[in-house]
Structure 1
Amino acid sequence: MSEHDRIVRLYAKGAPVGVHEGRLAAFPDDGRHTAEWAVGAADGGFRLTVKGTEDSVTAPGTDRAPALVRPDASPASVWRLHRVTPDGAEPVRSLAGLTTGTYVLTHNGLALGRDLFEDRSPDPKPVVVRTDDREPHWTVEVLV
């Protein structure tokens, strides 16, 4: 984690996001398992790392699959953030442009998000690369 990173909380479909069994997950009924994330500039995008660790959100490839959270400094852990505005989505180009709001997160043009249809259990919900959700909006809450 760099002194220049921004510390945030992430919410997918309104649920706080953390790590479950090495994968990115939303916790609709249990905020105790959520994480704070360090967002840092990396290779033209951003790396999302669990605060206080080396574990980053990583795309396992280009197929639809759960996003992994593990030590990874490769291009697989670089994400693009696009702020959702009334006129569409605008790319975030620097950490200075990251403010609390609604975003779309992508890796190689593939959106990160929860499934469009999920079971109704209180279990953690997987967050996947290449989601089937047509509006995979995230809330990013900037803490620092």
Structure 2
Amino acid sequence: MSEQDRIVRLYAKGAPVGVHDGGLAGFPGEGHRAVEWAVGEADGGFRLTVKGTEDTVTAPGTDRARALVRPDGSPASVWRLQRVTPEGLTAVGSPADLRTGTYVITQNGLALGRDLFEEPSPAPKPVVIRTDDREPHWTVEVLI
């Protein structure tokens, strides 16, 4: 983690996001399972790293699949963030530009998010690359 990183909490479809069985997951009604994320610049985008670890959000490929959380310094762990504004989407250029608000997170044009339709139990909900949700909005809560 560098001094320029921002520490945030992530929420997908309103649920806090953390790690479950090696993958990224939303925890409806279970805020205590959320983790803090370090958002740092990397290769023209950002890495989302579990604070205090080397574990980053990684796409296992370009097919629709669950996002993994593991040590990874490859391009598979570099994401683009765009802030959702009334005028449309605005690209985030550096961690310093992050503000608490609504964002879209993508990699190679593929959106990261929870599925549009999920089973209704309170079980952890997987976060996938190439989600079928047409508005995969994330809430980013900037802590530091």
Output the TM-score relative to the length of structure 1: 0.99
> Shift of residue 79 of structure 1?
0.2
8 Å CA contact 2:4–2:96 kept in 1: the answer is no
Report whether the alignment pairs 1:130 with 2:130. yes
- Note the 1:1-144 alignment, pairs <5 A: 1-144=1-144
8 Å CA contact 2:6–2:96 kept in 1: the answer is no
Over the matched positions of the two proteins, sequence identity in percent amounts to 79
- In the alignment, the residues of structure 2 paired with residue 89 and residue 69 of structure 1 have an alpha-carbon distance, to the nearest angstrom, of 26
- In the alignment, the residues of structure 2 paired with residue 42 and residue 52 of structure 1 have an alpha-carbon distance, to the nearest angstrom, of 17
- In the alignment, the residues of structure 1 paired with residue 3 and residue 97 of structure 2 have an alpha-carbon distance, to the nearest angstrom, of 17
Task: List alignment gaps of at least 5 residues for structure 2.
Answer: none
Larger mean CA deviation between 89-98 and 132-141 belongs to 89-98
What number of residue pairs does the alignment pair up?
144
Aligned-CA RMSD value? 0.5
AA matched with 1:93 = G
- In the alignment, the residues of structure 2 paired with residue 122 and residue 94 of structure 1 have an alpha-carbon distance, to the nearest angstrom, of 35
